[in-house]
Amino acid sequence: MLEIFITHRLLLFVEASRATMIIIRTFLFFLVIMATTKIALMEEQTYIIHMDKTKITDSDHQQYYQAVIDSITKLSSQEEEEENKTPTPQLLYIYETAISGFAAKLSTNQLKSLNQVDGFLFATPDELLSLHTTHTPQFLGLQNGKGLWSASNSASDVIVGLVDTGIWPEHVSFQDSGMSQVPSRWKGTCEEGTRFSFSNCNKKLIGARAFVQGYEAIVGRVNETVDYRSPRDSNGHGTHTASTAAGNFVNQASLFGLAKGSASGMKYTARIAAYKACWTLGCANSDVMAAIESAVADGVDILSLSLGGVSKPYYKDNIAIASFGAIQHGVSVSCSAGNSGPSRSSVSNAAPWIMTVAASYSDRSFPTAVKLGDGQIFEGSSLYSGKKTKQLPLVYNRTAGSQGAEYCFEGSLVKKLVKGKIVVCEGGIYSRTGVGEKVKKAGGAGMLLLNSEDEGEELLADAHILPATSLGASAAKAIRKYVGSAKKPSALIVFQGTVYGNTAPVMAALSSRGPNSAGPDVIKPDVTAPGVDILAAWPPNISPSMLESDNRSVLFNIISGTSMSCPHVSGLASLLKSVHRDWSPAAIKSALMTTAYTLNNKGAPIADIGSTSTSKSATPFAFGSGHVDPENAADPGLVYDITAEDYLFYLCSLSYNSSQIALFSSGVNFTCPKNAVLQPGDLNYPSFSVLFSKDARNMSVTYKRTVKNVGKIPSTYAVQVKEPTGVSVTVEPRSLGFKKMGEKLSYKVSFVALGGPTLTNSSFGTLTWVSGKYRVGSPIAVTWL
C-alpha cells in the first residue's frame, strides 16, 4: 500500500509539475506572441502607396505627401506606447506622372493609418523583381539603306529608355560620332555617382539615372566594391539590352571570333536613356516605378523592361499600373515574358497594354560534337573557342568523387579521379559556367553538362573557361547509360564554331508560356523575337562567364533569355515610331502582331523545343501571334487601335471595383457604366482568346473588333478563317471595303463550342483579313476551363 501510495503521490506530483509547466509555457508563449505582435506592428517595411489623383488637394505633391506622412505618423503614434515609438516614415519616392502616389518605409500601424487618409487607394509591399547582335538584324530582314533602315528613317529622332542594370557609357556601341544635337524636347539628365559623371553622356546616350532607395531599404546600402552606386553597369545585362535595342553599327564584332560580323541595335540611330533600377540582388519594385516615372517625364518614346516577377491581378501589378500611365503619355512599353518556360501559365508582364515578348532561336548556332568511345555522336552547344579535346577518359558520379559528384558540387570532385579527364555533370545547381569552374578547379580537362528531363533539348551556348559543352536530355540519358556500362568510358569534344542556316525560328524552352492567368481573355505572350545566343555589347571589366576567377575581357558577349528578345522588339517599335510618328502604342503593337509569321524558314510550322506534344509545333501560348517581321509591320494594311478609355472599360469587364479602377484612371473621373453589358473579349485586341466551360455544348460567344485602314485606298479585305478543333467560327461581315485612309470599320466574330475539350484543354486557329499583299492575321486560342 505504501508503495502504491508513494507511486500515486509521485504521479500526482509529476502531473502537477506537468500542469505547472504547461501554464508556464502557455504564459511564456503568450508573452512571445505579445512581443512578436508588438515588434510586427513596429517593424518597418517599404510599401508602394497608390493615391487617387482626383483627391490630391495641393499642387505641390512633395508638400502634400509630406502632410500625409505627418498625418499617419500622428495617427499611429496614438496607438503606440511612448517607449515603443516607431521611427518617422521614410519617404523614398513621389510618383506623379505615370502613376499617382509615393513609396515609403512604414510600420504596420502607420500602414493601417493610411486607411483614414482621403484618397488612399492601395498599398503593395515592395519586392525584388528578377532580370528575366551581329546577325539578328539580318535574320529579321533589316537591310542597310533599305526600308526601315533607309536614310530617311534613320535620321528620325526616337528615344529608347531602358530600365535595367545601367550602362557602360564608354562602349563603342554608345559613341555619338556623326549624330545630330539632342532633341530639344528631351527633359532628362545625366546623374553623377560612383565612376559616372555628366560627361559620360553624349548625343547617343542622352540620359542616365540610378534608382536605389527602394533596394537599399530592403537589402541595405549597396556594396560599392561589387557594384557602382550610379548608372554605371556592374552586371552587363543593361549594357547588352541597350545595345540590342539601339546600339551603334560596330564592324568586326565577335566573341573570341564567334558570331563575327557588324553588330548593331535594331534602331541603331536612336537615342538611349538608361535607368538603373536593378542591382546585385535584383530590382526593387519601388525603384522600377520611379524609373518608369522619370522616363515618361523625361520624354522617352519607347520603354524597354527586361525584368519582372510572378503574374498577378493587374491592380496588384505595379509594372502594369505604371506601364498604363506610360501608354497614356504615348509611350510604347515592351517587357520580357519571363524565363519560366515551358511551364503552362508562367508568363509575366501580361497586361494587355504591354507588348509581352517571348524568346526563340535564330538560324545561327554554336554547335559541338561529342563522340563517345563506342562511336555514338551527340550534338551540343558551346562558346568555348579552343581546339577539340583528345579522346579522354570519361568520369561521372562515384567515378569522379564523393556524394554529390554527379552535380559537381564544390569539394565533391576528387582530384586524382578527375585530373586530365572529361567530367560529366548534371546541371541545375550552379550557373552553367560555374559548374565548369568546379571541374577545372579539381583538375578536369573538360566537361559534359547534361540537361535534365525538365530542361529537355534546350541547347544554350556558354563562354566556358575549359573545353565544355551542354547536351540535351536525350543525349544525357544515353551518356549516363554509356558511362554506367562501359569498362573504360571515353569521349572527345569538337568545337565547330559558328554555323548559319539552321531551321528557325524555334521556340526556346526557357520562354514563359500562356495562358495568361491574370487575364485569360487576352492571349499572352504577344510575339516572339530572337532571344537565344544573342551577341551584344558588354562591359570590359566583366568576364563573359561572369565568374570572378575568369580574367578574360571582351567588348561583346553572347547570352540568352527573354531579356534579350525584349529589346529586339523595343528597337523595332522605335523603328515603327520613326516611320509613323502619329501611331499610338496600341497601333504599333497591332502592326507587329498582325504581320508576325508562324512558319519557319523551311516553310513548316514553327517548332517548340519545350513542347511535349507529338507534333512539337508551337502554339500561340508560346509565341503569341508569331515571330516579328518588322518590314511588313511598317505597312500592315490595318491596325487594331485601343484608347486608354477602352482599357478602362476592359478593367470594368473584369469586375474591378472603383478603387482598383482609380489606380489606372490617372486623375480622370471615370466610372464603370452600370447597365452596359461588358465582356473582356470585346477589348479591341489583335488576337482572340475564347473561354468555354468543359461541359459546354453549343455554347456561343460573340466578340466585336474595329480595324483602321492605314494601307491603300480604295481596298477590300476578305476574311479567311482556320477554325480551332471543336469550335465553329462565323464572321460578319465577311468583307470590309475602305474608301479612305484612317477609316474605321467593325466586324463581329461568333464562336460556338461543338464538343468537349481536347486532351490539352486548348485548341487554336486563325482569323486573317486579306487584300492584295496585305495579310492581317490574328491567332485564336480556345480554352476549356
**Cα(389)–Cα(468) distance, integer angstroms:** 10
**Cα(139)–Cα(130) distance, integer angstroms:** 29
**Cα(232)–Cα(239) distance, integer angstroms:** 9
Q: What is the DSSP track for 686-719? A: SSEEEEE-TT-SS-EEEEEEEEEE-S-SSEEEEE
C-alpha cell at 638: 490595318
CA separation, residue 69 to residues 81, 103, 105, 110, 213 (Å): 19, 11, 10, 9, 17
At 430, is the secondary structure helix, strand, or coil?
coil
Q: Which of 52, 164, 227, 462 is catalytic?
A: 164
**Cα(133)–Cα(139) distance, integer angstroms:** 10
Nearest to 588, CA basis, from 598, 573, 607, 571: 573
At 602, is the secondary structure helix, strand, or coil?
coil
**Cα(594)–Cα(93) distance, integer angstroms:** 39
**C-alpha gyration radius of the chain:** 29
* Residue 434 near residue 410 (C-beta atoms within 8 A): no
What does the buried/exposed string (b/e) look like for 366-376 if buried means 16 or more CB atoms within 10 Å of the residue's CB?
Answer: bbbebbbbeee
- Look up 240 and say whether it is catalytic: no
Residue pointed to by grid coordinates 486608354: 644
**Cα(573)–Cα(584) distance, integer angstroms:** 11
C-alpha cell at 503: 531551321
C-alpha cell at 206: 542622352
**Cα(727)–Cα(208) distance, integer angstroms:** 52
- Look up 695 and say whether it is catalytic: no
Residue pointed to by grid coordinates 586524382: 416
**Cα(214)–Cα(193) distance, integer angstroms:** 17
C-alpha cell at 181: 544635337
Q: Is the peptide bond before 525 cis (omega within 30 degrees of 0)?
A: yes
Q: Which of 132, 171, 237, 568 is catalytic?
A: 237
- Look up 237 and say whether it is catalytic: yes
Nearest to 682, CA basis, from 728, 655, 646, 717: 646
**Cα(657)–Cα(655) distance, integer angstroms:** 6
Question: How many whole angstroms from its chain centre is CA 633?
Answer: 23
The continuous run of DSSP H or E covering 336 comes out as strand 332-336
C-alpha cell at 658: 472603383
- The pair phi, psi for residue 779, each rounded to 5°, is -75, 150
Q: Which of 563, 653, 689, 778 is catalytic?
A: 563
> Interior CA angle at 249 toward 363 and 149, to 5°?
75
Burial of 751 (0-12, 13-18, 19+ CB in 10 A): buried
**Cα(124)–Cα(61) distance, integer angstroms:** 20
Enumerate the active-site residues: 164, 237, 563
